[in-house]
Structures are given as C-alpha cells and as structure tokens.
Structure 1
Amino acid sequence: MSDLSAVQYVLIGLIFVWSGFVRSGLGFGGAVLSLPFLLLVHDNPLAFLPIIAIQLLVFSGLTIVMNNRKSQAARQPQGGTVDWRYLGRILAIMIVPKLIGVFGLVTLPPTIMSTIIFGIVTVYSISYLLDRPFRSRNRVVDVVFLMLGGYVSGTSLIGAPLVIAVVAQHLPKEKLRDTLFALWFILVTIKMAAFIAVGVDLELKQQLWLLPCAAVGHVIGLRFHDYMLKAETPVFFRVLGAVLLVVSCIGLWKGLA
C-alpha cells in the first residue's frame, strides 16, 4: 500500500477507526462492515485481511482478559464473560468447514454463496428490528448455519453474520460479545497460520499507524457496549438487527455489482 495517495490513507485510517468501534461495540462486524469500504479505496483484499486479522487478535484478547479480571475482582458468580462450554460446542461444529475454507478444498460460486448468506441474514435482521427474533427450534438448521459460517470465515473472514444469527439465540447479552471474541480469536489464528504458510505479506509496517486508528474506535466501542448492556433487551436486539441489515445490504450490493 505504499503507492496510495494522501486522501486514500486518510480514508483507510477512518475506516479502521470504524472497524475498531464495531468490533468492540458488538463483538462482530469488524471485517464485514469495513472490508467493503476498504476495497472501494484500494481494491486488494490481501492488503487488508492480514491487518484486520492481527487487530482482531490483539483487541479481542485484551478485552477478554480485562473483562474477566473485572469479573473476578467483583466476585461475580457467572464464571467470567466467556461461555467456554458453549464455545466448545460451536467450535466442534465449525472447525472442519473452517479448515475446508482456509485450504480452499471446496469452492462455491461467490454469487451463490453471497446470495444465500446475506438472504438469511436479512431475514434475521428484520426479525430483530421487529422485536420478534427468529427462534430456530431445529438444531439441524443451527448446525447448517454454523458450518456455513465456519466455511465463509475460512475463505474471507466475513462469516460472522451467520454465526451471530445462531449464537445470539443461546447466550445472554452479557456473555455474547466476549464469547464471540474468543471464537474469532481461535478461528483467526488458524487463518493467520495459513497466511504465513503461503507467504502473504502481513503488512506489519502499516500496523504502526492503523493499529492506533483501530484503538481509538475500540475505546469508543467499549463505552458503546457498556451502554448497550444497560439498555433494555429489545433495544439491544434492535441495534443488532440494524447492524445485520446493513451487513446484508452491503453484501448483496457487492455481490450484484
């Protein structure tokens, strides 16, 4: 990214502030809500995916550690901010599709993949906006969504909408974000290992200025998340639905474009 203009650098910095805010505020969306805008500035996914992955590892790890220390200091009985038992269950479902996506063992047409994913996400987002969250009483459907989310995260790091559509049904909002952070940390570690194995440039020099940009958004997002936890549950899920709807619209727009 050494040949970009000053305007492009400013726009990229602002987008990474947005990325940090979304990630810490909701626990997901840092990649899927920023990558489409980044590609409008510089059309090279591999220039941004390693940067996003490293930032996710840094900030998700820090947030989990800090929040669990606060929980222990306050002697809260919930057992921390991560539901490790549920995390193990969904990882067991997602890990094989994740590896398939990482190593490119199965390649589906991107148009079909995008249409399926964002069509499903649109249904979920509208149900949250209407304060009538869709509750799948069929475990098979949940497993399919998690497997598809694992595959997509393996190919492009944007499988969060499918995963959150399932996980948000089964976790209390107090544990939702940090459990997702723990999940992303594990999945992104696998993706980073693949980047290193094939010799992808990790853009470490760019992190010197983009990491502080993401840190600014991260701090703002932490405060936003605290506000969301104090809000009524319908408000929380309406915001969640609005974000999911934005995600699906961006995804469908890019797919059609």
Structure 2
Amino acid sequence: MDSDFQWYQYALIVIVFIWSGFVRAGFGFGGALFTIPFLLLIHNDPLFFLPIISLHLLFFAALTLLLSNRAAASGEQPEVLQATINWPFVRYALLIMLIPKLAGVLGLLILPSNLMNSIIFLLISAYAITYIIGRPLQSNSRLLDTVFLILGAYISGTSLIGGPLVIAVAMRHIQAHEFRNTLFVLWFVLVSIKLFAFALAGVDLQLMASLWLLPFAGIGHLVGQKFHHRLLQASNARFYQILGWVLLSTSLVGLLQILV
C-alpha cells in the first residue's frame, strides 16, 4: 500500500473492500461500481485501485464458480437454487465486447486522471438515478443488446463500472439462478484482458496491496454469499433505492472535489 497514506485512510480502505466483497458475492456485479466512488474520495487515482479490484474479482469469481459446481454435484442445494452458467450468452456477449473493451483500457491509460474520475462519477450518478426511480436500464431488442454491450465493454475497460449496461442485456437472456455465475465467467474473461493490458503498459498491479486486502474482501464475500441465496427469493427494490441515494451523494461529493 502507499506509504503516504494516513492511518484513517488505511481503515477506510479496509471498510470499503469488505463492502466490495459483499456486493460482488451478493449480486454478481458491483464490486467496482459500488466501491470506486468511495475509494476515489480516499485516494484520487483509479489506476491505483482498479488492479486490486480486478485481481480480487478473478480470485473470488474462480472460488465462487468452483464451490457452486461442488455444491451442485453433491446435491447440497435445492435444484431451483443450483447456479449454472449460460454459455451461449457468454459467447454472444464476448464476441461483441472484446474490441470495445480493449479500446476502453487504452482510454484509461491515456486520459488525464481528473477527466477519468469525472467520467466515472458522472456514470455512477446516472446509474444511481435509475436505481432511485426504480427504472434500471433494460434492453428489449437485439439492436439495444449490441449497443449496451459495446458501451458496457468500453466503460468496463475504462473503469470496471460497465456492469449495469451488461446486466440490462443479461436480464433478457438468462434466468435468475444462472445470473451470478454467468456474469462471473464474463467478468473473469474481461478483467483478465484488462490486467494483461495493464501489465503490457507497465502499470503497477499492486500485488502486495491485493494480498493484504484479500482477507477483508473475503469477510464481505462470505456475508455476500449468504445474502445471495436470500436475494434469489426476495424483492430487492428498496435496497437498490437506498444504494442509489448513497452512490449519488458520494459521486456528487467526488465531482465537487474535482471542480473546486
């Protein structure tokens, strides 16, 4: 971790990474979307945090998929809750997303930090409003599928927050019990590409920081796993509305910091 951090910054980063583990395991997305605005308020450098979030996603996605397969094979879960992967959707999405994903990574590497942060906060504010008003993005045609996947891939390349656009498409193609694991496979491929590009560009992958924060993300992951099973059987509209207000407030504070 950065030796210039104050003790309270370390404490806040730990709390945010516990939260990131919970969100990622609970919903199958949002490990970056619901944490980046808080992290950028602590340390204003997306290239510091994105490799850490990316490495954690690879680790926990692989772990979740492995444990889900074991649970399904052993019959530990009711059949209706057994998570499966929708491979046709994974192939369909990746064919559309690969090139714009690479373009987004290039944009992250060459755009000024303040501009990149402003874009991130504006996008998160837009997502937050859709949650607040109870009208998340939806796709209802092949054309919108393609547009959302291209935009989601580019935004994911720049900041790992393209999830809501991809989810708008996924909701049309996959069932609830396939949702998290299918997205984890998709994120695993896309994030691997991003980390490879970071390595080629000489970006510090923050391996030690990732290891140091892994147990804290793991705490959130364990809690999120239990929450996920409840989420499959419950309405979560109110939760998303509250989360939307938190994200919107945080993003507005971040934008003010950049502008002032």
Could you state the TM-score of these two structures normalised by the residue count of structure 2? 0.83
Counterpart-to-counterpart distance in 2, 1:42 and 1:116: 19
Residue 181 of structure 1: which of 184, 195, 219 is its match?
A: 184
Residues 124 and 247 of structure 2 are in contact (CA less than 8 Å); yes or no, is this contact kept in structure 1? Answer: no
RMSD: 3.0
1:151 Cα deviation from its structure 2 partner = 0.4
Conserved? CA contact 2:61–2:185, under 8 Å: yes
Residues 72 and 80 in structure 1, CA contact (< 8 A), matched pair in contact too:
no
Residue 177 of structure 1 aligns with an amino acid whose one-letter code is R
| Residues 131-210 of structure 1 aligned to structure 2 (within 5 Å) | 136-210=139-213
In the alignment, the residues of structure 2 paired with residue 38 and residue 147 of structure 1 have an alpha-carbon distance, to the nearest angstrom, of 26
Q: Where does residue 39 of structure 2 map in the other structure?
A: 38
Amino acid at match of 1:149: G
Q: Distance in 2 between matches of 1:16 and 1:38?
A: 9
Question: 2:34, 2:80 → 1: CA distance?
Answer: 34
Aligned pairs (5 A) from 1:97-136: 97-104=100-107, 118-119=125-126, 122-123=129-130, 126-128=133-135, 136=139
User: In 2, Cα distance between the equivalents of 1:216 and 1:143?
Assistant: 36
Distance change >3 Å, CA 223–CA 79, structure 1 → 2: closer
CA 127–30 in structure 1, closer or farther in 2 if over 3 Å, else same = same
Residue type matched to 1:54 in 2?
L
Q: How many residues in Structure 1 have an aligned counterpart in Structure 2?
A: 250
Distance in 1 separating the partners of 2:56 and 2:123:
28
Q: Name the counterpart of 1:65.
A: 66
By how many angstroms is 1:47 displaced? Answer: 1.5
Q: CA deviation at 1:250?
A: 4.6
- Alignment gaps of 5+ in structure 1: none
* Structure 1 position 228 matched with structure 2 position 231: yes
Q: Could you tell me the percent identity over the aligned residues?
A: 46
Post-superposition CA distance 1:117-156 (Å, at most 9, x none):
754663466345xxxx775433212211111000011111
TM-score by length of 1: 0.84
Q: Give the whole-Å Cα distance in 2 for the aligned partners of 1:15 and 1:117.
A: 16
Question: Given the alignment, which residue of 79, 85, 88 partners 2:88?
Answer: 85
Cα distance in 1 for residues equivalent to 2:145 and 2:97: 11
Distance 1:161 1:45 in 2: 19
Q: Give the whole-Å Cα distance in 1 for the aligned partners of 2:254 and 2:143.
A: 29
Amino acid at match of 2:157: G
Residue 6 of structure 1 aligns with which residue? 7
User: Residue 136 and residue 194 in structure 1: after superposition, are their counterparts in 2 closer, same or farther (change >3 A)?
Assistant: closer
**How far apart, CA to CA, are the structure 1 residues paired with 2:169 and 2:128?**
10
Q: What is the CA–CA distance in structure 2 between the aligned matches of 1:53 and 1:252, rounded to whole Å? A: 25
CA apart distance, 1:181? 0.9
| 1:193–1:112 distance in 2 versus 1, CA, 3 Å | closer
